[in-house]
Amino acid sequence: MQVYDIPIDHSSRETTLHGTFDFPVAVYHSVMSRNVLGFTNWHWHKEMQLCVVTFGSIEFIVSQRRFLLQKGQGIFINSGFLHTAKPTGNPDSSYLCLNFHPKLLCFFDGSIFQQNYVLPYRDLPAFSAILMDEQEPWQHRILESVQNICQLTDKQPFAYEYECALLLGEIWLKLIRNHSVQVDKLSARNSLENQRLQTILDYINVHHGESFTIADVAAQAALSASECCRFFKKMTGETIFSYVQMFRLSKGAQLLRSTDGSISEIAYSVGFGSSSYFIEVFRKYMHTTPLQYRKHLTLNSVHSDPVNQIPLEDNKEDDNRQQ
């Protein structure tokens, strides 16, 4: 299963239900080229995440930490940390993604496991992400366990939930035993920077349908416009303008799938100054027109029809007629 366009709320928190309330574990196979934007955009979630690259190479950015993963390598991403993933080279680069809620590691609320071995490691910038390589024995075992869990959730043999939970417990024990975590001044500074980035993203996400300036964004983080631009580039690797444009494009694609609003109505509602500019940007990044996108990815078929199967037809006249 793949989520082609991650739904987020105003704070960039992913709203996808990963698994079920009584068994919060979910496995996805993400092919980058099939995502709406061609990559996994910035988001965070309460679940912890384990990823293993299955093809090509992918750069993960967790807060401002960058990790370039080749096929066979993996990464642990802690609960609550903003992250993104982009292919480097081959646009069809892919990875397995295992999401699980930390409560599975606690056994029950108030347990010694929760108090001593789970809560102290959550929200720590120094423990935000861990790169895993097949050459390191303990990391290799974790990567194998991730593959085993993926197979178990696919085949679902008797009591597979128990087996998955046991494997997740073993994975967590290896992570906290083999990765030294110290709360130091650098971690404290990183924590403040993460909060500042979250403040900026919150503002953009809430006001993306309005007209605003860099100065408006900077004011939310108590920075000058130039400082804000430098800070955002350092933290995310992209400009504020690029992020806003791609965010608006993603929201526009969602509305094309889920509403019958005209191209013009959707363009203005997500913050584009004109429908023609919306169509221009949409064609540039989606390689199709908004109208053709709507025809081939309806609300009922978005999770079954790969984005990269949309015909690359020139239907500018059709789009202009619908404005």
Domain CATH code at residue 102 = 2.60.120.280
- Residue at a domain's end among 162, 178, 194: 178
Q: Which one-letter amino acid corresponds to residue 48? A: M
Over 50: is that where the pLDDT of 308 sits? Answer: no
The Cα angle at residue 231 between residues 248 and 89, in degrees rounded to 5? 60
Question: For 221-260, how does the pLDDT look when each residue is reduced to its tens digit (9 = 90+)?
Answer: 889 999 999 999 888 888 999 999 999 998 998 899 889 8
Over 80: is that where the pLDDT of 155 sits? Answer: yes
Question: In whole angstroms, what is the distance from residue 106 CA to residue 308 CA?
Answer: 41
Query: Rounded mean pLDDT of 161-189?
Result: 80
Question: For 180-212, how does the pLDDT look when each residue is reduced to its tens digit (9 = 90+)?
Answer: 654 444 455 566 777 788 889 889 989 999 999
Residue 231 is assigned to a structural domain of this protein: no
Q: Please say whether the beta carbons of 25 and 86 come within 8 A.
A: no
For the whole model, what pTM was predicted? 0.74
Over 80: is that where the pLDDT of 166 sits? Answer: yes
Which of 32, 23, 26, 29 is closest to 58 using CA atoms? 32
Over 70: is that where the pLDDT of 309 sits? Answer: no
- Residue at a domain's end among 124, 148, 178: 178
Question: For 125-141, how does the pLDDT look when each residue is reduced to its tens digit (9 = 90+)?
Answer: 788 999 999 999 999 99
Quick one: 291 and 156 in the same domain? no
Of the pLDDT bands very low, low, confident and very high (cuts 50, 70, 90), residue 304 is: very low
Mean pLDDT score of the chain, rounded to an integer? 86
Residue 77 is assigned to a structural domain of this protein: yes
Residue 198 is assigned to a structural domain of this protein: no
Q: Count structural domains, the chain.
A: 2
- Taking each helix axis from N to C end, the angle separating 137-155 and 160-178, rounded to the nearest 10 degrees, works out to 160
Quick one: 143 and 58 in the same domain? yes
Residue 195 is assigned to a structural domain of this protein: no
Residue 187 is assigned to a structural domain of this protein: no
Residue 67 is assigned to a structural domain of this protein: yes
pLDDT, position 189: 55
Residue 169 is assigned to a structural domain of this protein: yes
Query: Rounded mean pLDDT of 291-319?
Result: 52
Domain containing 313 equals: 242-322
Quick one: 149 and 48 in the same domain? yes
- In percent, the amount of the chain with pLDDT more than 90 equals 59
- For 147, list phi and psi in degrees, rounded to 5: -60, -40
Residue 229 is assigned to a structural domain of this protein: no
Quick one: 68 and 159 in the same domain? yes
- Helix, strand, coil content of the chain in percent (nearest 5): 50, 15, 35
